Amino acid sequence: MTVETLQVPAYRTFPVRVARVQRLSPSFLRVTFTGPEMDAFASNGFDQRIKVMLPLPGRGTLDCPAGDDWYGAWRALPPERRMPIRTYTIRALRTEVGEVDVDFVLHGATGPASAWAERAGVGDEVVLVAPNASFPGPTGGFEWHPPADASCLLLAGDETAVPAICAIVESLPGGQHARVLLEVPTAADALDVAAPSGVRISWLPRWPADGTAAAPRGQLLAAAVAETVHELGDLLAPSPVVELSDVDVDAEILWEIPAVDAAPTASSGVYAWLAGEAGVVKGLRRHLVQEVGIDRRSVAFMGYWREGRGSD
């Protein structure tokens, strides 16, 4: 590798504008972005994460950091001129027409990203930070690394993980046995997914059809994960039950991913990928690792956001 290629950044900024918005359901808005440099926009597929840099009131994207060290340039700005940055998932990339889809959960005008999405219209500008097609090595930024021989996959998450899980599901080979558990606000948030044969998807709406009272966040997901794990009992990789180190989800990020090259476990039947609100994921981690005794090399746990805290 030459010095020049090593200097190409793995991630770079892309100034983009909204080409289309499509309300998928009460809680999901699909925003299609396009821009002048989309031929350099890359994705590894699966749960590929990107950053969305949001316009500042009165300044739009004027303060977009320039150069390869976009993060250093952003940090060097005075706080009031730093465009808010949030993490999202590439739902689809169509390089041939220079378009990328991002599915935003509409959770009210409580954060800059959701507030922006609620008002998004054609022509609105943001800046995306995404893998650079010119980078010569692996760009990473995704956590879907199941062993090739997993006999069953378990994917579980809340609405923020729906874009990632749908993208993963659509990449699975036909016949792969997979259980998918998705907790969403309402029954109308159950989206169409091009799932191959072998995948069973359960949508778990917190609000019941009669609209009486919503289940507490995470309750349905925890029950469904426990039930599914029970059903899959014989396929689970048992390991000695371990004492978990505590993760303070208000102070640190819950992000526990098996090493990509982790040796296949002795009876690695099930591989699990779980993401969503950090307190909920922490509870799932406690159940699976401490109570069930699942092999930690077979599970990825990701806190995507934290209730009551902005993602600054």
For ligand FAD, the closer of residues 146 and 157 by Cβ is 157
For ligand FAD, the closer of residues 104 and 271 by Cβ is 104
Of 42, 34, 33, which Cα lies nearest the Cα of 12?
Answer: 42
For ligand FAD, the closer of residues 104 and 301 by Cβ is 104
What is the C-alpha to C-alpha distance for residues 206 and 221, in angstroms, rounded to an integer? 9
CB of 122 to ligand FAD, least distance (A): 20
Residue type at 109? A
CB of 217 to ligand FAD, least distance (A): 8
Cβ pair 252, 303 in contact under 8 A: no
CB of 120 to ligand FAD, least distance (A): 12
For ligand FAD, the closer of residues 151 and 311 by Cβ is 311
CB of 160 to ligand FAD, least distance (A): 4
Residue nearest to ligand FAD (CB): 111
CB of 104 to ligand FAD, least distance (A): 5
Six-digit token string for 79: 């706080």
Contacts for 149 with CB less than 8 Å, ≥ 6 apart: 264, 268
Of 265, 266, 283, 262, which Cα lies nearest the Cα of 274?
Answer: 283
**Phi and psi based region of residue 37 (left: phi greater than 0; alpha: psi -120 to 50; beta: remaining):** alpha
Contacts for 138 with CB less than 8 Å, ≥ 6 apart: 44
What is the C-alpha to C-alpha distance for residues 117 and 102, in angstroms, rounded to an integer? 10
For ligand FAD, the closer of residues 137 and 310 by Cβ is 310
For ligand FAD, the closer of residues 14 and 305 by Cβ is 305
Q: Which residues bind ligand FAD (CB under 6 A)?
A: 49, 86-89, 103-105, 107, 110-114, 159-160, 163, 304-311
CB of 62 to ligand FAD, least distance (A): 20
